[in-house]
Amino acid sequence: MGTIAETIFILALRQSISIRRVAVLLLLAAIPLVIAIVSEILNIEWDGDSTQGFIQRLIFNTGLPLIALIVAAPVFADEIEDRTLTNLMLSPIARWQISIPKMLAAVFIVAIPLAITTFASVLLVIQDDAYSAAIVGAFGILIGSIAFVSLFAFVGTLTTRAVVFGIVYVFGFEALISSAIPGLKYVSISGNTLSIMQELNSTLIDAPISGSNQLPPIEYAIIALLTVIILSNIATIWRLKRMDVH
Amino acid sequence: MQTRSEINNHAGNDAIVSLDSVSKWFGNVVAVSDITLNIGSGITGLLGPNGAGKTTLLRMICGLYSSSEGTVRLLETDPRTDHNVYKRIGIMTENESAYEFMTGLEFVRLSARLKDLRREESHLRNAIERVDMSFALDRKISTYSRGMRQRIRLAAALVGDPELLILDEPLNGADPTQRLRFQEILHQTADEGRSVIISSHILEEVEDVSDSVVLVVNGKLAAQGDFHAIRAALDDRPYHVKIECSDPKQLGGELAKQPAVQSIQFDPDGSIVVLTTNVAVLQLDLPVLAQRNNVRLTRIQPIDDSLESVFSYLVEG
């Protein structure tokens, strides 16, 4: 017999893996790899700016938060909507035993395909020290996934329209505004994730893309991401304790 | 039957559920208003018309809703903070909240695992056999009929033999055979010394199973007490019954001779409206009279049998 955490983790995996959602997920995760493979076949040279644009804007500012949104926002929102959350809430388990396994299941679903395609893409795009850069790329996906999933899962406990909020956040803030307005990278999950990656491998995250902002310092980035992760999960647990379950 | 003030003074030491001045509102809408009550062991029916506040009340008792005012105690604990109480309780909510992608067996097993039960398989087998769902265990819940869903959800609530079962409108969607089986299960549960709280908006649904009844109208406690006392009060109440048949004049004439019939009125739509003081006798006599006079009955409808009118009668009467 599995533990309660394992039971809820597997339940959350099964809830998240519908055919349609997996298809969308794999399609989005495959985009960087397809671009990298096509560039390789066509012998397209990657200069510094295009490499950084590919990794920073396509993968970390847009792809990662979008996939995290698709997976994490429904983790609680769907259960509230279809009223299956009562099955968990009427069980003799602490609320963190519901939220943490669900969050980890979502991270698993987001990080595995995207870490694989990021790893392979970086191997194809980066010339120097490619293997190390690819590992850092996959690691960046993992930590970015944890932060985004924690945030979106919490929003999903507040509203069943979490996806709408998330789309505005991903395309409006992470993809556009945080790069355009000086200083906003400090409050961007992608920006702080990229900062940690830059510290680990400066070939992969070389410099700010032209017209983009400076990344936050590493110490700040670690604290900022930990704050997002911890506060989001505490807020989710608090919300589960306080909410009326319809 | 107890009035509200009597109930307020009846603080049961053995109460499995205790509500003290409990209210719940959603924005400007008051769903439950200042209810104080104790529910003891045995089978208790929570009755009220649709929208009376039964589900809100049950959800507060279960801990799914917080109370806006007042305190709720379930098995002497606060279910909002002491989640261990759910080990001792089986709950079936009103909504068909089962995971569609699971098989029936997986759903009941999930319930057992969440309760962290030892000897999981024996608990599973026991619960599933009680609701007669062994034949469809490996089918996905998405393929189940509404009645089958209710039964598998009941099995999930029964798993682990909880000392208290809380069932919100469990007979919705059940056919007569399933209802009978359901009543048997409730009697068995009570015979085993466990308690049941069952809600319904249909008086007859809980008539054969409940020892006592809690009546809720417009979010307020209308009455609480022994079911039979309430039933007796109901039986004395005059009923209007609308009858549609092939020969209203013939049947109306015969009905007028019956002692249980107080008055008869012929409606312009061709139906008969009978005022009776003994609806049970009328139910028995009507088919016999129709057959004897070669009249075909097409529709029999009690027109003031809604719980709301019953409650008004009880409370005001």
Record: contact B99-A94, CB cut-off 8 A: no
Please list every residue in chain B whose beta carbon sits closer than 8 Å to the beta carbon of residue A102.
Answer: none
pLDDT tens digits for range B11-65? 445 789 999 999 999 998 999 999 999 998 889 999 888 888 999 999 999 999 9
Of the listed ranges A36-45, A78-87, B159-168, B221-230, the one predicted with least confidence: B221-230
H or E element, residue B217: strand B212-217
Residue A78 sits at φ, ψ, to 5 deg, of -65, -40
CB atoms within 10 A of CB A71: 26
Mean pLDDT of A138-166: 94
CB proximity A90 to B under 8 Å: yes
Record: contact B87-A2, CB cut-off 8 A: no
- Which of A11, A91, A241 faces B115 most closely, judged by CB atoms? A91
Mean pLDDT of A162-176: 89
Computed on alpha carbons and rounded to an integer, the radius of gyration of chain A in Å comes to 18
| Residues of chain B numbered 2-61 and touching chain A (CB < 8 Å) | 59
Closest Cα in chain B to A246:
B64
Mean pLDDT of B154-173: 89
pLDDT tens digits for range A43-92? 888 777 788 878 888 899 899 999 999 999 999 999 998 899 999 999 99
CB atoms within 10 A of CB B41: 17
Mean pLDDT comparison of A94-108, A169-183, A203-217, B34-48, highest-scoring range: A94-108
pLDDT tens digits for range B232-270? 666 666 778 889 999 999 999 989 888 888 889 998 888
| pLDDT for the residue numbered B119 | 75
Interface test with A, best of B58, B61, B82, B83 (most A CBs within 10 A): B83
CB proximity A10 to B under 8 Å: no
3-state secondary structure of A35: helix
pLDDT tens digits for range B111-122? 999 998 877 788
The whole domain housing A72 covers 4-242
CB atoms within 10 A of CB B306: 14
Structural domains of chain B, ranges and CATH numbers in brackets: 4-233 (3.40.50.300), 237-316 (3.30.70.100)
Q: Is the pLDDT of residue A157 over 60?
A: yes
Nearest chain A CA: its distance from B116 CA (Å): 7
Half-sphere exposure of B27 (CA within 13 A, CB side): 1
- Average per-residue pLDDT in chain B? 84
Confidence of residue B67 (pLDDT cuts 50, 70, 90): very high
Cβ-Cβ contacts under 8 Å between A and B: the total is 73
Alpha-carbon span A9 to A15, nearest angstrom: 10
Q: State how many domains chain A has.
A: 1
Question: CB neighbours of A235 closer than 8 A, spacing ≥ 6?
Answer: A154
- Average per-residue pLDDT in chain A? 89
- The token pair that represents A238 in the structure block: 């608090």
